[in-house]
Amino acid sequence: MAGRVFDFGEDTQTKTNDSSSEKKNISSKKGGRGLKGSAPSLNMIYSDDRTVDAGRPILTLNDKDGVFEHHLTGIFMDPAKAFAFDSADPEEKAYISGIDSRFVEFVKWLGINRISVRLTGENREGVFCVYKIRELESGPSGKLSGQDGFLQYMIARLLSGDAVRDTETEEEDADDDSMKLTSLQSITDFLDCAGRTFPVNIRSWARRNLAVAKSEEVSQEERRHAQRALSMMMNIQWRRSLFPPIDPVKARAILDEELYGMEKVKQRIIETIIQINRTGRLPAYGLLLIGPAGTGKSQIAYAVARILGLPWAGLDMSSVHDPEQLTGSSRIYANAKPGSIMEAFSRAGQSDLVFIINELDKADSESVSGNPADALLTLLDNLGYTDNYMECMIPTTGVYPVATANDKSRISEPLLTRFAVIELPDYTAEEKKEIFLRFALPKVLKRMELTEDECRVSSDGADQVVEHFKNVSGVRDLEQAAEHLAAHALYLIETTGVKSVVYDGDTVRELLQ
């Protein structure tokens, strides 16, 4: 949620009316060598902003005299002594007066490990607003450390999370977005700094697996599995699964881009997902699109992901022959690995996603291990999903399943009851003709860099294309026919020097024979 974090024109004891931020005053630890005055009340900021600047900083330092410049170099103090910033320059020592709640553990970690940093900020009415923290090499050189990439990755992950509330308790005590957490040290540091951005059960799970990964009392294989599981889990951004409302007009425009005609189908899709506008949460039922091959089911699934503004991950059930492929295998096996569902979370990189299940009716129901599709039931119930390899319950409230199928009769009744079933009819001959002339042919001409004047298909030519594929469902063959005609036109233009080729019914019939 975007919104104002600091109101520099009001007393910090007063609550702001902005719904995106809440403030709570808590006492900062007193003391601190070389610090001026007593420790001020620490203004804790609960914000969901994804970006920072001088008006929405990471933290603020007490600077009533306005002596701080654009950059400060030093270290954060050990929080056991004072919640403050220390520097070799006595004029650059100051208490922290305010901090984004997401960064509390991060700043403590920097202080405990005495990591040299450079702060970038701006003075605003007695406080220095810090909006950038960079790691420096130890010493006065001011040169950036090689570990700064990890620090920026950690900051980006913290900003992508929601505000950390004081009511969230733990079960136990204790600039490079492409970077992945793989080493035990990076996982340990990240868990120390950003652990509170994870669900409580995943936090506890991570600590247990970290202990296994570091233990000398277990086998090397067990340590390897624990580290692999940790790396996969830590690289997923876990969100609270509250979704902004969708715009029905924009949603309809996206569906119109992907699907010609089928007005009732589009209406039903929007009616299903528009529940978000009132609840802020995904609908209780996913979408199951049933229809002949080539009618646009997969395109609709991708369009739903665009409407919701979520990444998507796909699963082809026709290639799944054992439930273990979905649920993962136990770590007792040397070649154990996570299941396809867990890997989908990993590919998406976050817990909110559209899970596209293609060919739901093609799952191998004759498998001796049971129908693999039935393993999807716990995912579809949105009560949490447990992967055998991860050995942890994964929250699924942010997962919206969209499945496709050709034959409804081959899907079990328990699965059907967990979807809003939408049946797509095949296109009529007139609809296929329009799709060929308005979509398939222009798409192919653009891909081959031909103009509409160079390759033209008459009305009776289009009729002949549709007639040729009258016994084939869907519209995939129409694009293949367009490809055939365009390639033939390009050949004639290049070899005979003609400027334009027109295809009528007789010409099309001869070419497609």
Residue 491 pLDDT > 90: yes
Q: Is the pLDDT of residue 43 over 60?
A: yes
Q: Is 354 helix (H, G, I), strand (E, B) or coil?
A: strand
396 — pLDDT class (breaks 50, 70, 90): confident
Residue carrying the six token digits 């929405």: 56
Q: Tell which wins on pLDDT, 490 or 324.
A: 490
The overall longest dimension of the chain from CA atoms, in Å, is 94
Residue 92 · residue 32 · CB < 8 Å: no
Closest residue by Cα to residue 53 from 104, 3, 94, 87:
3
Residue 11 has pLDDT above 60, yes or no: no
List, for residues 276-285, the tens digit of each pLDDT value.
999 988 888 8
Q: Give the pLDDT band of residue 20 (cuts 50, 70, 90).
A: very low
Give the per-residue pLDDT at 503: 92
Encode burial over 250-275: b for 16+ CB neighbours within 10 A, e otherwise.
Answer: ebbebbeebbebbeebbeebbebbbe
Which pTM does this prediction carry? Answer: 0.66
Domain boundaries, given as residue ranges, for the chain: 21-160, 184-234, 248-423, 429-512
The dotted CATH code for 248-423 is 3.40.50.300
CA distances from 304 to 89, 253, 371, 425 (A): 56, 12, 27, 19
pLDDT of residue 335: 85
The CATH number of the structural domain formed by 429-512 is 1.10.8.60
Residues 256-309 have pLDDT tens digits of 888 888 888 899 999 988 999 999 888 888 999 998 888 888 889 999 999 999
* pLDDT tens digits for range 119-156: 999 988 888 999 999 998 765 556 666 677 888 888 98
Residue 33 reports pLDDT greater than 70: no
- For the cut 90, the answer to whether the pLDDT of residue 250 exceeds it is yes
**Model pLDDT, residue 493:** 92
Distance (Å, whole) CA 354 – CA 351: 10
225 neighbors 215 (Cβ within 8 angstroms)? no
Average pLDDT value for the chain: 82
Q: Between vectors from CA 201 to CA 197 and to CA 204, what angle results, nearest 5°?
A: 85
The first and second tokens of residue 284, run together, are: 């209780």
Least confident window among 10-19, 106-115, 191-200: 10-19
Please report the pLDDT score of residue 139 as a whole number.
Answer: 58
The region that residue 382 occupies, defined by phi over 0 for left and psi between -120 and 50 for alpha, beta otherwise, is left
In the predicted model, what is the mean pLDDT of residues 24-39? 50
CB distance 245 to 277 below 8 Å: yes
pLDDT at 166: 55
Answer yes or no: are the C-beta atoms of 403 and 287 closer than 8 Å.
Answer: yes
For residue range 326-356, list pLDDT tens digits in order.
888 888 887 889 988 898 888 888 888 999 9
